């Protein structure tokens, strides 16, 4: 259960009363108040026999009008992965999926190249190549949207090193649903070839950032970040190679948080419980 | 406010009702249920005008008999530091204290040598040398206890590289009040000269552990740990040198957690909010 | 080129003279002197047209008698992976292999269960099940040795969560060739179920260690270690789950170091360039 | 001994021959070739009885004309620290100095405020207040330069949270001698109040960067960087507080590298051995 509300006295009391009345046992409870924006966030995992709609209704009635209440029963999320030519981030998700680590159905992998097809097919997951050749950006994305919308319900679109810039139309269609991995510790090295930028700047740390995609390239709400140390002996190719390990770990971590409904998005930031 | 209770349905509800009735605003709230031991832990920071004793009484009445309730108003903690000859951990605490980072009064530094006296005196803090020479362990500790008990109230005793083993009598006198820094990531390298042990074993990581002291040497509840990477080029003296930076950071972190009343101790572990 | 010798004045001079005489260009050079054991280690990557045997002979002649000289031309290493039922460490190696990250041929995966067969077969790598049922340890290992020795040349045997203890006979057969991943930051939590041990001890850091296997369980020379922070909210199952990410990263890192001939083993330690 | 040269075949051979002829024992040796810029770097620690000037001459003669050779005998470096009002970074250096960890003489602390005077005086180090009030930037810096130049020899100027921007004149006067700590993992959050910027951006990692100062604000050669994880619960004041621990560690680490003559600067980067 996820609640987002304008903060006021007694919110925890109200929510816990309802849980008590519905005879629910709280397994875990996280709250956060953003004083600057006067926002209250709460995530509760509860156990008990209950009609979800009634629970939601009861919460809605008692909480301030401004509140957003999400009552979610645990079920597998549906995801579509987009990739281009690089294997490591996609491969890590496929292996985790195979190992049963991800509570998700991978509906398909969509790519603008066929390079990763044989890998994906090994795992009995549909691979759909939608080449961008001879298409303008609008047409190409139209085809991808069509492809995605053919699925009944898509919870998240994971950009596992999808190397094309998305248009505002695409981004708005799937707001807060597109998770991207950027190969730098944002906001450093926005844009193309961040490892080359990092090398040229002579940094001693490189990293990766998983974030929701919004209309400003590489400026969406950050979900997870990780870094590793490098030194003068790293060429930018070495940085790229080492960076791959960070990228795949960070993307998988962000995907896991999303799948487990642990993320709130507001004010271009995330609250993660 | 810190609550420790046997877990049962409705605890959060009960606590939040009382807050509501006392017209208190919850600034932050942390809960944890240890399912294995069926224990419930809660730490709330609340804001409002209230008689602490009445609040405590109300909580005691409504919560299960087994509960422990601590209602604490923010005030400076009183600490005594014990040291031997090494300067780094003690020095870091002194500098933080000088910078106003620690909500604590340093009542005194007690040492079995006078080596650090001139440093401590710079900060206008009493330095008390209690030499162990010509005294058996029991006599020596008796003198230290006498010295500590001369202060009106001592919240924590910080062992900033105090290099003598404490007897059960001493430890029991100040249960859950003595914070020690051990120069390894426990439980690795218990006992003397852990850096030498680490060097001999050829580890690629060294670390430090801050823990409450109990009767089993280096086996008390762990508060904080941190590590750094090393390689074959480190002699054990190099490890010791680099390790000092970890030691002082970890000890200061643990002390801060204690001072801010963020630690529960149970089952030889800590719950830290 | 890897040189290990008793240290004496002029070793670098001697080696660099030979390189100069053979008209070789030094691409990178690493040296280390272990003063305690009076041992000299050197790894050079050189570029040029040269007869490897002649170079080796020249080095042997000029260096002290005690020296060990390995002159290696870059070629793919042959590895056999051993696993039991867990997928994550094996899967990570398979994906890296598929991505071309590892300069290695995976000759086979050998397991005492058939659980991972379908995964391995996806990658067109032979999967050989050698069940331990109804066999004593000696017989079971005999079969594995037979299986491994059927390959022409095996450079490394990688234990990707192979959950059976190896006998001295097996270990001696493949000295300094068996790389294991242990799921703790050794030497903490030697033996069975380290995550449960870590949970019971209440540590704030867990980790993993890749090491060469010797006759003392979990006491072989350490190649790589990594850790992550945990807190009181982690059950031991949570630790196990999070630990998997560390395990796979550390094992792959160690394997890469081995494949690139970057490791010296001596005095139950490693020197890594 | 530090050598910087255009790369060519046989450099290591030439240097090691000279060492051999001078009967010097190599204690440690580090080399690096930057292929992109065709630059060779070497740092050797040698042991033996030798006339430094003669050694330098011999090296100069044998090495390419373009080479820079520094032959340094170990002696304490002279440093001047500049600070403003914050205590933590300065305090850490003072304590390390007191503990004998730094092979340096602190000639003076220069500040534009008198706030830290009583702290510095505790350590018997001269504190010189040069207020910027009623002075333009040029005049103010003129006074500081005058003050610094009154010392016989200054190896490094350490900006321990000196919160004023330096003019090109000042920077050029002490090229590659001024070490600054910037409170972000550069190049992220250049400019004022990086913690506020980091908070607004919603990052999950904050950090600090020690670098040599050049004419472009926050763009000089990076010496050391470190980061810590933060989450949504951190206000920017919390970030600032936690960041101080990183700042002081990174600045002290950079200072130590400089004092030990481990840094080469070129192409706006550092090579660190």
The verdict on C65 and C82 lying in the same domain is no
The verdict on D129 and D145 lying in the same domain is yes
- This complex has an ipTM of 0.92
pTM of the predicted structure, to 2 decimals? 0.94
The verdict on B134 and B268 lying in the same domain is yes
* Contact check, Cβ <8 Å, C23/D9: yes
Which pLDDT score is estimated for A66?
87
* Contact check, Cβ <8 Å, A20/B26: no
The verdict on B125 and B65 lying in the same domain is no
Share of chain B above pLDDT 90, in %: 86
Catalytic residues of D: 218
CA B118 to chain C, closest CA, distance in angstroms equals: 36
Which pLDDT score is estimated for B25?
87
The verdict on A140 and A213 lying in the same domain is yes
CB atoms closer than 10 angstroms to residue B244:
21
Task: Evaluate if residue C218 carries a pLDDT over 90.
Answer: no
The verdict on D88 and D149 lying in the same domain is yes
B123-169: pLDDT as tens digits: 999 999 999 999 999 999 999 999 999 999 999 999 999 999 999 99
Region A153-157 average pLDDT:
97
The verdict on C96 and C216 lying in the same domain is yes
> Of the candidates D15, D11, D6, D7, which has an alpha carbon nearest to the alpha carbon of residue D44?
D15
The 3-state secondary structure of chain C, one letter per residue: CEEEEECCCCHHHHHHHHHHHCCCEEEEEEEEEECCCCEEEEEEEEECCCCHHHHHHHHHHHCCCCCEEECCCCCCEEEEEEECCCCHHHHHHHHHHHCCCCCEEEEEEEECCCCCHHHHHHCCCCEEECCCCCCCHHHHHHHHHHHHHCCCCCCEEEECCCCCCCCHHHHHHCCCCEEEEECCCCCCCCCCCHHHHHHHHCCCEEEEEEEECCCCCCCCCEEEEEEEECCCCCCHHHHHHHHHHHHHHHHHHHHHHHHCCCEEEECCEEEEC
End residue of a domain, out of A39, A70, A101: A70
Given a cut of 50, the residues of chain D with pLDDT beneath it are none
Region A53-61 average pLDDT:
93
CATH of the domain at C248: 3.40.50.170
Q: How many domains does chain C have?
A: 2
Partner-chain residue, chosen from B201, B223, B224, that has the shortest CB–CB distance to C187: B201
Give me the domain span that covers residue B20. 2-70
Task: Evaluate if residue A191 carries a pLDDT over 90.
Answer: no
Q: Say whether the peptide bond before residue A164 is cis (omega within 30 degrees of 0).
A: no
Q: Is the separation of the CB atoms in D245 and B249 below 8 Å?
A: yes
Question: Chains that contact B by 3+ CB pairs under 8 Å?
Answer: A, C, D
Q: Is the separation of the CB atoms in A81 and A90 below 8 Å?
A: yes
CA C88 to chain A, closest CA, distance in angstroms equals: 7
Q: Would you call D175 helix, strand, or coil by DSSP?
A: coil
Which pLDDT score is estimated for B154?
97
Is D12 touching C (CB cutoff 8 A)? Answer: yes
Task: Evaluate if residue C192 carries a pLDDT over 90.
Answer: no
Question: Chains that contact C by 3+ CB pairs under 8 Å?
Answer: A, B, D
Is B130 touching D (CB cutoff 8 A)? Answer: no
Q: Would you call A53 helix, strand, or coil by DSSP?
A: helix
End residue of a domain, out of A36, A51, A70: A70
Which pLDDT score is estimated for A29?
87
The verdict on A125 and A25 lying in the same domain is no
B71-113: pLDDT as tens digits: 998 899 999 999 999 999 999 999 999 999 999 999 999 999 9
Is B47 touching A (CB cutoff 8 A)? Answer: no
Which pLDDT score is estimated for C150?
96
Task: Evaluate if residue A73 carries a pLDDT over 90.
Answer: no
Structure tokens at B218: 């280096």
Tell me, what DSSP letter sits at residue B214? -
Is A225 touching D (CB cutoff 8 A)? Answer: yes
In the structure, what pLDDT confidence band is assigned to residue C247 with cuts at 50, 70 and 90? very high
* Closest residue, chain A, to D31 (C-alpha): A233
The verdict on C109 and C233 lying in the same domain is yes
The verdict on D96 and D150 lying in the same domain is yes
Q: Is the separation of the CB atoms in A26 and A44 below 8 Å?
A: yes
Q: Is the separation of the CB atoms in D167 and D138 below 8 Å?
A: yes
CATH of the domain at D20: 3.30.70.260
Which pLDDT score is estimated for A74?
85
End residue of a domain, out of B30, B49, B70: B70
Task: Evaluate if residue C217 carries a pLDDT over 80.
Answer: no
* Closest residue, chain D, to C28 (C-alpha): D32
* Contact check, Cβ <8 Å, B233/C32: yes
User: Torsion angle of alpha carbons C127, C133, C134, C139, nearest 10°?
Assistant: 50
Average pLDDT, chain B: 94
Which residue shows structure tokens 């590289």?
B161
The verdict on B63 and B177 lying in the same domain is no
- Between B29 and B149, where is the model more confident? B149
Which pLDDT score is estimated for A69?
93
Structure tokens at B53: 């004793």
In the structure, what pLDDT confidence band is assigned to residue C203 with cuts at 50, 70 and 90? very high
Which residue shows structure tokens 């770990």?
A249
Which pLDDT score is estimated for C27?
86
Cβ contacts (< 8 Å) between A252 and chain C: which residues?
245
Task: Evaluate if residue A217 carries a pLDDT over 80.
Answer: no
Which pLDDT score is estimated for C25?
87
Chosen for mutation from C4, C186, C202, C210 (greatest number of chain B CBs closer than 10 Å) is C202
The verdict on B144 and B209 lying in the same domain is yes
Cβ contacts (< 8 Å) between C25 and chain D: which residues?
9
Which pLDDT score is estimated for C216?
84
Which pLDDT score is estimated for D192?
86
Structure tokens at C52: 């490897």
Structure tokens at C197: 């041990």
The catalytic residue among C218, C231, C238, C245 is C218
Question: Chains that contact D by 3+ CB pairs under 8 Å?
Answer: A, B, C
Distance CA C122, CA C90 (A): 13
B190-223: pLDDT as tens digits: 988 999 999 999 999 999 999 999 988 789 999 9
Q: Is the separation of the CB atoms in D181 and A198 below 8 Å?
A: no
* Contact check, Cβ <8 Å, C13/D9: no
C210 Cβ contact list (under 8 Å, min separation 6): C179, C180, C181, C182, C222, C223, C224, C225, C250, C251, C253, C254, C255
């Amino acid at each position: 259960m996820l609640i987002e509300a304008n903060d006021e006295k007694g919110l925890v009391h109200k929510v816990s009363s309802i849980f008590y009345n519905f005879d629910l046992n709280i397994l875990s409870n996280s709250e956060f108040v953003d004083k600057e924006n006067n926002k209250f966030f709460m995530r509760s995992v509860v156990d008990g026999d209950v009609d979800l709609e009634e629970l939601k209704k009861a919460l809605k009635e008692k909480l301030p009008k401004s509140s957003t209440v999400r009552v979610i029963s645990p079920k597998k999320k549906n995801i579509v992965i987009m990739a281009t030519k690089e294997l490591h981030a996609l491969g890590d998700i496929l292996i985790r999926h195979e190992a049963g680590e991800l509570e998700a159905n991978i509906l398909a992998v969509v790519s603008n190249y066929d390079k990763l097809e044989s890998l994906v097919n090994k795992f009995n997951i549909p691979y759909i190549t939608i080449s961008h050749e001879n298409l303008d950006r609008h047409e190409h994305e139209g085809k991808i949207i069509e492809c995605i919308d053919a699925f009944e319900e898509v919870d998240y679109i994971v950009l596992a090193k999808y190397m094309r810039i998305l248009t505002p139309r695409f981004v708005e269609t799937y707001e807060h649903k597109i998770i991207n991995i950027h190969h730098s510790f944002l906001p450093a090295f926005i844009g193309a070839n961040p490892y080359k930028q990092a090398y040229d700047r002579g940094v001693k740390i490189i990293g990766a950032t998983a974030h929701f995609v919004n209309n400003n390239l590489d400026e969406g709400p950050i979900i997870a970040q990780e870094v590793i140390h490098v030194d003068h002996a790293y060429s930018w190719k070495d940085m790229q190679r080492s960076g791959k390990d960070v990228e795949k770990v960070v993307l998988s971590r962000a995907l896991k948080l999303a799948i487990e409904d642990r993320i709130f998005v507001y004010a271009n930031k995330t609250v993660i419980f």
